[in-house]
Amino acid sequence: MYFEFGQGLQAGLDCAGDVTPDQGAVFGWVRHPADETLGLRAEAGPGEPVESLLLDIHPRPDVPAGEGMAVSGFSLVHAIPPGASGRRLIIGLSGKDAPAEAPIDLEAYELPADVAGVTLNRQWGATYQLLHASAADPRRIKTLTGEGTPAGIFGGWLDRLPRLAGASEWFMDFRRVSARIMPDGQIAISGGFNLPPIPGEAGRIMACALVQARDGGIRVQAIGGARHARLEGGFALSGRVDAADAAAVEAVIEVRRGAQRWWFRAEAEPAGLADYLDTLTITGFDLPGADQSVLHDWVRQALADRGAALRGRMDGLGLVGVQAPPGGTALLFDVNDEYAARLLSLLAPQIEARFDRIVLSGSVASRAAAALMRRGRLEVLVESTAESALLAAGRQSAAHGGALAAIDTATLVDAAVGGDPSGLASNAIPADRVPMIAALHGMAGVGDMESTLRRLVALMAGADPSALPMPAGRADAIGGLVTEHLRSLWDMVPVTGGRR
């Protein structure tokens, strides 16, 4: 409905209705002099102001402005006091020539009152901005809980958005789009434009999270600590989602570049560290030269944020190697060649004297295990990967007590060449600390689990951290940032033991 208050002030109202019994919403636009700032508030009656819970001002390109004028779209969410007798919208402008405030009695006109219905058919940019602002303060602003449906007034609109499942080489006007989330809620979203670059026009991404809880509930929430990169050739965002109870997480995304806008939902793919870092650093997509330094600075800050967030957890891991008492569990996680298998066979009597059970993994683990089984003095278990071997050895260690001794090929060599097998049991991990190894790998793994275990064993044996290899990644400066980030995380972890 259109309202005119003279040549310098006009308004159009799209909706005035209830979100919940104690909150209302007014949507519309105001045309006003471009050099004056719009102000809006609601009243229950003349001189009876009510609390404004949210006021979002946004562009309305569908409404012509005219020379010297501007058009401001708005979404106003306000309180409805108990026993309120009416509802008025007060339009005001700030500026030396601003006219007096203009009131509109919202109950004197037959304005659309179905807030969810109007939300479904509004401009998507306006709806997204209201959603994003609502997600930042859902306890106070009830647009996400009104209507008695999941996602409140936004449920129907969310169902209309294009959807991306995890990652795609091509999606909408983008290339190599991905959204990945770590088990602790760290989320990264990135992609490149499949469009000609516009010099000087950087892309911008905003996102909030749509969380489906394991009990079936749905909620929309802000992404904590969200940080985005302003790139001409793509977009990137990192942050954290509070999703401890989540069965699935989707990001609800707006990407802007100049006058262009895109909105979509992206299912956040549960990811390990390597895939998360690939998304964070936009690996596999060539960005324009102007973007390289921007991406470098952004990745550096995003990794610094991640390091600061993880510091307390890394400090608390405390992996201290102890002498394993007889009868414990051994984990040989890199039996990958015949040399390792022969060493294991050579040292079998010494291993049997110190352990009651052994878990093996690696490409020739089965053949090595067969020789031990023929001797019949150990419980022998073979696993296909170092991850599953660690889990199995952890279960064995917890069930039988004692400690878990992780042994690599280098330890076998030292025992065989030096003639002193005591090092095989010198750096065992107490059973209750074994889960911390998996936690360390998830937060700071240096490649696969086998590489992480090999680094841990070397550190407990007193190796110089700077002499240990880091995973081979990108060969550019951003790859260097990732390497230094992982190195700094390991430096936070107290790792001690005895020389083998």
Other Cβ atoms closer than 10 A to 239: 22
Strand order in the sheet with 218-222: 163-165, 260-267, 246-257, 203-213, 218-222
pLDDT at position 486: 92
Residues of the chain with pLDDT under 50: 500
Q: Rounded to an integer, what distance in angstroms lies between the CA atom of residue 329 and that of residue 451?
A: 20
Task: Characterize the bridge pairing of strands 379-383 and 355-361.
Answer: parallel
Separation in Å, CA 65 to CA 7, 30, 437: 12, 10, 62
- Name every residue whose Cβ is closer than 8 Å to that of residue 471 and which is 6 or more positions away in sequence: 274, 446, 447, 451, 483, 486
pLDDT at position 414: 85
pLDDT at position 157: 94
Q: Rounded to an integer, what distance in angstroms lies between the CA atom of residue 342 and that of residue 275?
A: 36
Contact call for residues 134 and 146 (beta carbons, < 8 A): no
DSSP state for residue 218 in the 8-state scheme:
E
Residues, the chain:
500
Q: What is the largest CA-CA distance in the chain?
A: 99
pLDDT at position 343: 87
User: DSSP string covering 359-425, please?
Assistant: EEESTTHHHHHHHHHHHTSSEEEEESSHHHHHHHHHHHHHHH-SEEEEE-HHHHHHHHHHS-GGGGG
Q: Rounded to an integer, what distance in angstroms lies between the CA atom of residue 363 and that of residue 339?
A: 12
Contact call for residues 112 and 195 (beta carbons, < 8 A): no
Residue 277: which of 236, 226, 228, 225 has the closest Cα? Answer: 236
pLDDT at position 428: 86
The SS3 call for residue 343 is: helix
Separation of CA 265 from chain center: 14
Query: For 2-141, CATH number?
Result: 2.60.40
pLDDT at position 96: 62
pLDDT at position 461: 81
Other Cβ atoms closer than 10 A to 94: 9
Fold of 161-295: Immunoglobulin-like (2.60.40)
